[in-house]
A = this chain, B = another copy of it.
């Protein structure tokens, strides 16, 4: 929701071209809030307001605009106004933004940018979207091992405003190979001995990611090691960028959302719920619903086959139909639970593929326990609903439930492991898909057991 509180005043200031007040508006609040208050303005109006902020602040407020607005501004604003802003943007955000702007506009902007920024954009845009390379920024501080503490502090002070973070400082050799890390806090503690060499203070055992690593790997390392930023290296261990905590938080938020959507069978959304067009959202749900629909049709076809083959027998057992929903939903639920447990455990790293045997063993055991317990309740329910009651008829329910739950836990745990093994996202093994699969298996088990028991109604 746009915050409309300041809109009338802002429009009035713009109409009057009241520079002093517009400037005051830009500087008074946290840049994120300033951006929030401008949400109700058109792109043109917000760009006009931004002209009253100094460049560093202008870049900051612009950074908090929604993606659509940023794109609109870059595409519509006069080239000579937009180029300095693009040149000053953080390197990682800039690449992401330009990737979404119309190609024509990018081609017009690129020659107008300073050579260094141009090369930077070309370098960063080489990496695939979900890799560490695509997340990293090149605005980081490089130190040399031979520098003294005093020189390092002076260098950082000069660059402080242009760097993404000054709190972790990376030490590289002449060919940019990563040698070590020193935190600003360490540097500060060493100010008492300004002649100490960086090489004597720095940490040499670093946690790094490769530029090709998946962004989930980045998030896991930053979370596990409580880092403020993580260095990104290439295959020769040259430092090519850093990824800061705020980008990691964004990744975690996006990944959690994506996983939730996938598990429920919704193709991930690029925008918020209310911002996604109704037809697009319908489509993203519809594909999965249709796939699952055909899964359910398979169940129907299976049922049909049994019905035709054992027509008279099944028709004589009126209660068979009653337990179909029970068999299906119990199998699906136990499968969902296993799939969610395994997908979550894989993504937090609390299990790896090497544990597959232990996982399967645990799931089978749990399946037996859960299936056994539910089976006992199921026998009771069977006794109530099956008329005329027969022990053999009621016994089909617990046997079916036991087998269905074991199949559910097994399928729910093996499929995500298999997907992981194949290098695919285990969350693609959506719960709905697991449930659909178990429906078919469950119906087959149920029918097979009823046929095998050869029950003759009282």
A30/B225 in contact, CB under 8 A: yes
| Choice from B203, B325, B355 contacting A324 with Cβ under 8 Å | B325
| Choice from B225, B249, B330, B352 contacting A296 with Cβ under 8 Å | B330
A436 within 8 A of B: yes
A422 within 8 A of B: no
| Choice from B160, B206, B207, B337 contacting A185 with Cβ under 8 Å | B160
A228/B245 in contact, CB under 8 A: yes
Pick out which of these stretches binds chain B: A8-16, A110-118, A123-131, A264-272: A264-272
Q: State A303–B359 Cα separation when bound (angstroms).
A: 38
A366/B285 in contact, CB under 8 A: yes
| Choice from B206, B278, B307, B374 contacting A289 with Cβ under 8 Å | B374
CB distance from A347 to the nearest CB of B (A): 9
What 0/1 pattern do residues 427 to 458 of A give for CB contact below 8 A with B? 00001100110010001000000000000000
What 0/1 pattern do residues 359 to 395 of A give for CB contact below 8 A with B? 1001001100110011001100100010000000000
Known: A274-B350, A366-B282. A261 touches B328 (CB 8 A): no
| Choice from B226, B249, B303, B350 contacting A275 with Cβ under 8 Å | B350
Chain B residues within 8 Å of A160, by CB: 185, 188-189
Known: A263-B260, A264-B337, A297-B381. A292 touches B329 (CB 8 A): yes
Chain B residues within 8 Å of A285, by CB: 334, 337, 366, 370
Pick out which of these stretches binds chain B: A42-50, A99-107, A235-243, A251-259: A251-259
Instruction: Give the nearest-CB partner of A274 in chain B.
Output: B351
Known: A184-B184, A351-B273, A431-B431. A292 touches B166 (CB 8 A): no
Q: State A377–B294 Cα separation when bound (angstroms).
A: 9
Known: A160-B188, A260-B263, A329-B436. A272 touches B307 (CB 8 A): no
A19 within 8 A of B: no
| Choice from B304, B325, B373 contacting A300 with Cβ under 8 Å | B325
Per assembly, the copies of the chain total 2
Q: State A340–B167 Cα separation when bound (angstroms).
A: 38
Q: State A351–B304 Cα separation when bound (angstroms).
A: 44
A288 within 8 A of B: yes
A175 within 8 A of B: no
CB distance from A343 to the nearest CB of B (A): 7
B329/A328 in contact, CB under 8 A: yes
Q: State A362–B280 Cα separation when bound (angstroms).
A: 12
B307/A318 in contact, CB under 8 A: yes
A156 within 8 A of B: yes
Q: State A167–B299 Cα separation when bound (angstroms).
A: 60
A55 within 8 A of B: no
Chain B residues within 8 Å of A156, by CB: 188
A248 within 8 A of B: yes
A340/B260 in contact, CB under 8 A: yes
Known: A348-B272, A350-B272. A304 touches B290 (CB 8 A): no
A5 within 8 A of B: no
Q: State A300–B257 Cα separation when bound (angstroms).
A: 35
Chain B residues within 8 Å of A370, by CB: 282, 285-286, 289
What 0/1 pattern do residues 325 to 358 of A give for CB contact below 8 A with B? 1101110111011011111110010111011001
A32 within 8 A of B: yes
Q: State A419–B343 Cα separation when bound (angstroms).
A: 26
B228/A352 in contact, CB under 8 A: no
A-B contact pairs, 20 of them (CB 8 A): A1-B352, A1-B354, A32-B207, A161-B189, A166-B188, A167-B167, A223-B253, A245-B249, A260-B344, A261-B340, A261-B344, A264-B337, A264-B341, A289-B370, A293-B330, A300-B385, A320-B321, A321-B324, A325-B325, A325-B328
- Chain A interfacial positions (CB closer than 8 Å to B): 1, 28-30, 32-33, 156-157, 160-161, 166-167, 184-185, 188-189, 191, 203, 205-207, 222-228, 245-246, 248-250, 252-253, 256-257, 259-261, 263-266, 272-275, 278-279, 281-282, 285-286, 288-290, 292-293, 295-297, 299-301, 303-304, 307, 315, 318-326, 328-330, 332-334, 336-337, 339-345, 348, 350-352, 354-355, 358-359, 362, 365-366, 369-370, 373-374, 377-378, 381, 385, 431-432, 435-436, 439, 443
* The 6 nearest A-B residue pairs measured at CB: A272-B350, A264-B340, A256-B256, A273-B345, A226-B246, A299-B325
